[in-house]
């Protein structure tokens, strides 16, 4: 995901929710994503739902091996 600054950095406080909304629109349920583990392995998953917590867009995922977990949207990438 590419971060685009839509406003001057000095006025970011009012726009934190805008960032979360834009991220939520980028990861609709059913979207295929991947992320790297701390051990350097790639994990593939499907977005099951999206929520917002304290201005952070959280993705609820089901991995290909059947685990359910939640990660910030900033920590995953779209499968090409």
- Residue 38 sits in a domain of what CATH number? 2.30.30.40
Domain range for residue 26? 14-78
Asked if residue 2 belongs to a domain, the reply is: no
| pLDDT tens sequence for the chain (80 residues) | 444 444 455 555 555 555 555 555 688 999 999 999 999 999 999 999 999 888 888 999 999 999 999 999 999 999 98
Asked if residue 7 belongs to a domain, the reply is: no
Asked if residue 9 belongs to a domain, the reply is: no
- CB contact at 8 A, 35 and 77: yes
Asked if residue 55 belongs to a domain, the reply is: yes
Confidence at residue 47, expressed as pLDDT on a 0 to 100 scale: 96
Asked if residue 69 belongs to a domain, the reply is: yes
Asked if residue 35 belongs to a domain, the reply is: yes
Confidence at residue 16, expressed as pLDDT on a 0 to 100 scale: 55
- Per the structure, how many domains does the chain have? 1
């Amino acid at each position: 995901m590419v971060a685009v600054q839509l406003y001057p950095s000095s006025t970011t406080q009012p726009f934190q929710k805008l960032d979360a909304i834009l991220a939520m629109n980028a990861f609709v349920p059913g979207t295929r994503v991947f992320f790297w583990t701390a051990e350097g392995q790639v994990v593939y998953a499907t977005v099951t739902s999206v929520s917002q917590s304290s201005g952070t867009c959280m993705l609820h995922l089901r991995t290909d091996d059947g685990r359910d977990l939640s990660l910030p949207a900033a920590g995953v990438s779209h499968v090409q």
